[in-house]
Amino acid sequence: MLRSMYSGISGMKNFQTKLDVIGNNIANVNTFGYKKGRVNFKDMVSQTISGATGSGENSGGINPKQVGLGSQLSSIDTIDTQGSLQTTGRVLDIGIQGDGYLMVQRGNNTYYTRAGNLYLDDDANLVTASGDKIKGADGAAIQLNGGDATVIKSLSISNDGTINFLIDGNDTLQAAGPIGIARFNNNGGLEKIGDNLYKDTVNSGDAVPLTPGEDGAGILVSGTLEMSNVDLSEEFTEMITAQRGFQANTRIITTSDEILQELVNLKR
């Protein structure tokens, strides 16, 4: 009776966490490069009333008798599937088709992102919307024309990450980059830190810097942005099941409370 009440409490907490993750997925449905989360449960420890017994000469075996004590979180996964590429027509918008992340320099740290809405700052550095520098396959920040103040009048980005550009007063085509792509043994082991950025962890493995298209790395598609991989119909379905699961666990607590009330009334 009391065990059922505590089981119901554990179920309510877990379904609340599931609803939190679903809510975050829906909130980021239009966030470029966002990868949705998924909650998994597992059962908690079970109380053994009697153990199993083996068969004897004149009797068969008996299975163990156990009562479960609720559920707990098993994992909150990052689902690293490809999002659809939305055409923008803007040259500095780049979508990654395939595996890998853009490498971002923030201070002395290197982070990773799938959001490819890039910009040029006043020194012709290739940067993110937050002003973090984009790194090349060699690990160095990408700067066009060596930071010269000459205006860049046109540029293009190829699938292998090479940036070709022209500057005022010079019709010679120049090149920079290529933009680097980092791959990991376990993308699910990356940790989200906000601003569309990830950082590596002990379980993601070390980043392997590559040129786009090299050794399984994705290619870059200029003029596109990768949308989030959130499927609203799936999220709403999961939200309904989580809501019903939460309601069912509250009913367990209510029913257990009613039984306790009946026991209290026995003395009357």
Residue 169 has pLDDT above 70, yes or no: yes
For 11, what's the count of Cα atoms within 13 Å in the CB-facing half-sphere? 22
Query: How much is the average pLDDT of 205-212?
Result: 94
Would 19 be classed as within a structural domain?
Answer: yes
**Cα–Cα distance, 213 to 181 (Å, whole number):** 9
- 85 has which bridge partners? 226
The answer to whether residues 156 and 217 belong to one domain is yes
The answer to whether residues 89 and 222 belong to one domain is yes
The answer to whether residues 206 and 95 belong to one domain is yes
pTM, to two decimals: 0.87
Would 56 be classed as within a structural domain?
Answer: no
One-letter amino acid for residue 18 of the chain: K
Q: Are the C-beta atoms of 117 and 224 separated by less than 8 Å?
A: no
pLDDT given at position 53: 87
3-state secondary structure 103-171: EEEECCEEEEECCCECEECCCCEEECCCCCEEEECCCCECEHHHHCCCCEEEEEECCCCCEEEEECCEE
The answer to whether residues 101 and 122 belong to one domain is yes
- Domain holding 211, by residue range, is 85-226
pLDDT given at position 100: 94
What the block records as the tokens of 134 is: 């984009």
Give tens-digit pLDDT for 214-262.
999 999 999 999 999 999 999 999 999 999 999 999 998 898 888 888 8
pLDDT given at position 16: 95
The percent of residues above 90 in pLDDT, for the chain, comes to 67
Mean pLDDT of the chain: 91
The answer to whether residues 34 and 93 belong to one domain is no
The answer to whether residues 147 and 202 belong to one domain is yes
The answer to whether residues 220 and 89 belong to one domain is yes
Residue 150 has pLDDT above 70, yes or no: no
Query: How much is the average pLDDT of 128-156?
Result: 85
Pairing of strands 109-113, 119-120: unpaired
**Cα–Cα distance, 86 to 200 (Å, whole number):** 27
pLDDT given at position 161: 93
38-47 CB burial, b ≥16 within 10 A, e <16: ebebeeeeee
Would 55 be classed as within a structural domain?
Answer: no
The answer to whether residues 241 and 165 belong to one domain is no
The beta strand positions in 59-99, using DSSP E, are: 65-68, 71-78, 85-87, 94-97
